[in-house]
């Protein structure tokens, strides 16, 4: 269980990795409104961007985190630190829609 399992906010500086099986990513919350994501493997390996995000607390340890990337990719994460899971919905600039589930690994 994560140290955020009962949290009602994600603290600035918190970093965690996600194993989506087809790639791994790292999320770092730099502040209450900016995060950096890094793709650690897969086709987009090496990509890193810092973006503005919004977060909604759904229950302690469960957060809906949303952002839009400079290329207009939109991302919605349900980050469940109590269960150690992330469910992602991603709309790419070409309209392709991806649904991914992954395990929080750190």
The tens place of each residue's pLDDT in the chain, 106 residues long, gives 578 999 999 999 999 999 999 999 999 999 999 999 999 987 878 899 999 999 999 999 999 999 999 999 999 999 999 999 999 999 999 999 999 999 999 7
pLDDT of 106: 77
- Kindly state whether residue 3 falls inside one of the protein's structural domains: no
Find the CATH number of the domain harbouring 42.
Answer: 2.40.128.20
- Kindly state whether residue 83 falls inside one of the protein's structural domains: yes
pLDDT of 1: 53
Which CA distances in Å does 36 have to 6, 47, 60, 88? 23, 10, 23, 16
- Kindly state whether residue 31 falls inside one of the protein's structural domains: yes
- What domain range includes position 61? 15-104
- Kindly state whether residue 27 falls inside one of the protein's structural domains: yes
- Kindly state whether residue 70 falls inside one of the protein's structural domains: yes
pLDDT of 5: 94
- Kindly state whether residue 2 falls inside one of the protein's structural domains: no
Domain count within the chain: 1
pLDDT of 61: 97
Both tokens assigned to 50: 């810092």
pLDDT of 41: 83
- Kindly state whether residue 4 falls inside one of the protein's structural domains: no
Which CA distances in Å does 79 have to 56, 70, 93, 94? 10, 22, 23, 25
pLDDT of 45: 80
Q: What is the C-alpha separation between 37 and 50, in angstroms, rounded?
A: 7
Total-model pTM:
0.93
- Kindly state whether residue 10 falls inside one of the protein's structural domains: no
Burial class (CB in 10 A: 0-12, 13-18, 19+), 44: exposed
């Amino acid at each position: 269980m994560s140290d955020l399992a009962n949290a009602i906010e994600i603290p600035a500086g918190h970093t965690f990795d996600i194993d989506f099986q087809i790639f791994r990513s790292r999320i770092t919350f730099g502040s209450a409104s900016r995060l950096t994501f890094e793709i650690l493997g897969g086709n987009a390996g090496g990509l890193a961007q810092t973006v503005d995000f919004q977060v909604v607390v759904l229950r302690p340890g469960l957060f809906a985190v949303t952002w839009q990337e400079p290329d207009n990719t939109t991302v919605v994460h349900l980050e469940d630190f109590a269960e150690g899971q992330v469910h992602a919905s991603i709309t790419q600039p070409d309209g392709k829609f991806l649904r991914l589930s992954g395990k929080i690994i750190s």
